[in-house]
Amino acid sequence: MEKTLVIIPARGGSKRIPRKNIKLFLGKPIIQYSIEAALNSNCFDEVMVSTDDKEIAEKSIELGAKVPFIRTDKNSNDFSTTADVIEEVIEQYQLNGLKFKYVCCIYPTAPFITADKLQQALQIIKTQNATSVVSVVKYSFPILRSFNLKEGYLNLNWPEYANKRSQDLPTAYHDAGQFYFLRVDDFMKSKKIFTEKTLGFELPETEVQDIDTEDDWKLAEIKYTFLNSGKSS
């Protein structure tokens, strides 16, 4: 049987937004949106939160997720990567006798995630020749026309494109920071989320928002409220 695991990595330490992963977002702990989307998708045999924090662990269990083990100190610092956490979780499950064919990582600060998106992405990785499926979004302006600042003065990063029309430049994408679907065997060989066989799951800009500062948080709440204003309870 092909089993699928979802990992929600929720470290306790957050310097720019204190207690970020369980801070109330429009009245609910922000991690609740990720947990509920995972549970409601019916995609996963196990919905788990990887954390080093007792309060986050207790809240996650209360919301329906599992916390079968606490994250190690090694992967609880500012330098540990998402791939490090995924690897640790997979290895711990394997030690406990549980193996999965697919794993999905959903960030705990992803209130725009939906069960429908997860269902679609899982179907893609199951049916396409891909090692991973990653949520992406278009840059709102061609990156080849971007500037850098040197001593306060603007300089084109790629001056050779200065006179090119925006519509003639290639579309560029960036990580939307919502979820990654991975084939476990491929990931454990490469230890990489992005490979030559990574497919993009494109999201509209209205459903994407980095949440790294208090201003980001407010903007995300405004976007979320706007997107859901026409939905009845």
**How many helices (H) and strands (E) in the chain?**
6, 10
pLDDT at 95: 96
What is the rounded distance in angstroms from the CA atom of residue 114 to the CA atom of residue 216? 20
Q: Which CATH architecture has domain 4-136+173-228?
A: Alpha-Beta Complex (3.90)
Contact 35, 65 (CB under 8 A): yes
C-alpha closest to that of 139 among 174, 112, 99: 174
How do residues 23-39 score in pLDDT, each as one tens digit?
999 999 999 999 999 99
pLDDT at 136: 98
Please measure the distance between the N-terminal and C-terminal CA atoms of the chain and give it in whole angstroms. Answer: 36
C-alpha closest to that of 65 among 93, 37, 87, 86: 37
Q: What is the pLDDT along the chain (233 residues), one digit of tens a residue?
A: 799 999 999 999 888 899 999 999 999 999 999 999 999 999 999 999 999 999 999 999 999 999 999 999 999 988 899 999 999 999 999 999 999 999 999 999 999 999 999 999 999 999 999 999 999 999 999 999 999 999 999 999 999 999 999 889 999 999 999 999 999 999 999 999 999 999 999 999 999 999 999 999 999 999 999 999 866 54
